[in-house]
A and B are shown apart, each in its own frame.
Chain A
Amino acid sequence: MMRWHLCQCLPVDNLRIKFKILEETFNPYKEFELWEKVNKNSANSFFIGRVRPFDQFGNDLKKLEIVHYKGMTENYIKRYLMKISEKQDDLCIFLLHRIGFIYPNEPIILIAVSANHRGIANKYLQEILEFTKYKVPFWKKEWTFKGSSWVKKNTDLGFKL
């Protein structure tokens, strides 16, 4: 049965940023709904990243494992989110990122950004997602029915910026 909980995130310095690293699965829609109730901006963007059912070589995936560097990972995310919220004073950011074992189709990441205008919400949503892929200490290991292997590089963006 799918478990979910409403995340008790610690606000970072002000109520405009919330993030948490989770060891258990979560329901991104419930989390988003709760978060959206407390911010009153008109433009809201959100992204849900889920585990693919196959690994980097095309084999059926049993589960994905994500590890982080406790302390450093949290600090890098916190610092980055504070930096961009200082640039844009109407920005509200909500970020959840899983660690541990995650099964196909379960959520890995939820990013929600709200602002007064859609351009700002979409721009920072994309920027935060790329930041979590390339600038934060997280690593993925893929487990198949034959064994396991570390992911060497992130998947492409899917188009050219």
Chain B
Amino acid sequence: MESEKSNKIKVVLLSSIAEDLGWNEKFLTIEGSQMKVFSVWNLINSNLPQDNIIVSINQEITDMDAMINPDDEVAFMPMFTGG
């Protein structure tokens, strides 16, 4: 019997992006086996500018053209201001 695969991804928002959109994390169902980070951004985003946004998949920084697989964690965050 074929095991049932999840087609969900976890989306994490941080800092001002979480505040602007009003949530910190959500699970989304993706259609097909993969999806571009950019498509997720379009799905969740209202009107935030895309400039200066840092994205990560499974906590590794990547770019908007990277592909997300089921069970991945994708995060959107503004420029870092620590130290």
A residues neighboring B (CB under 8 Å): 49, 66-69, 71-72, 75, 97, 108-109, 129-141, 150-154
Contact = CB atoms under 8 A, between A and B. Distances in A.
B78 interface: yes
A140 B81 contact: yes
Overall SS of chain A's interface: mixed
Given A69-B59, A72-B59, A137-B77, A97 B82 contact: yes
Given A69-B56, A133-B82, A153-B79, 4 more contacts: A66-B82, A97-B82, A137-B82, A150-B81
Contact of B83 (A71, A72, A129): A129
B75 interface: yes
Nearest to A69: B14
A133 B81 contact: yes
Contacts of B14: 67, 69, 137, 139
Interface in B37-76: 54, 56, 59-60, 75
Contact of A67 (B15, B56, B75): B15
A107 to B, nearest CB: 12
Q: What size tier do the contact residues of chain B reach?
A: 10 to 19
Nearest to A74: B59
Given A132-B83, A154-B81, A154-B83, A139 B16 contact: yes
Contacts of A130: 83
Considering the complex of A and B, which 9 residue pairs feature the smallest CB-CB distances, nearest first?
A: A138-B82, A133-B83, A132-B83, A72-B59, A139-B15, A150-B16, A151-B81, A140-B81, A132-B82
B70 to A, nearest CB: 20
A97 B82 CA distance: 9
Given A67-B14, A139-B14, A150-B16, A75 B79 contact: no
Nearest to A66: B82
A138 B77 CA distance: 10
A150 B13 CA distance: 15
A129 B75 CA distance: 25
A71 B15 CA distance: 15
Given A69-B14, A150-B16, A135 B80 contact: yes
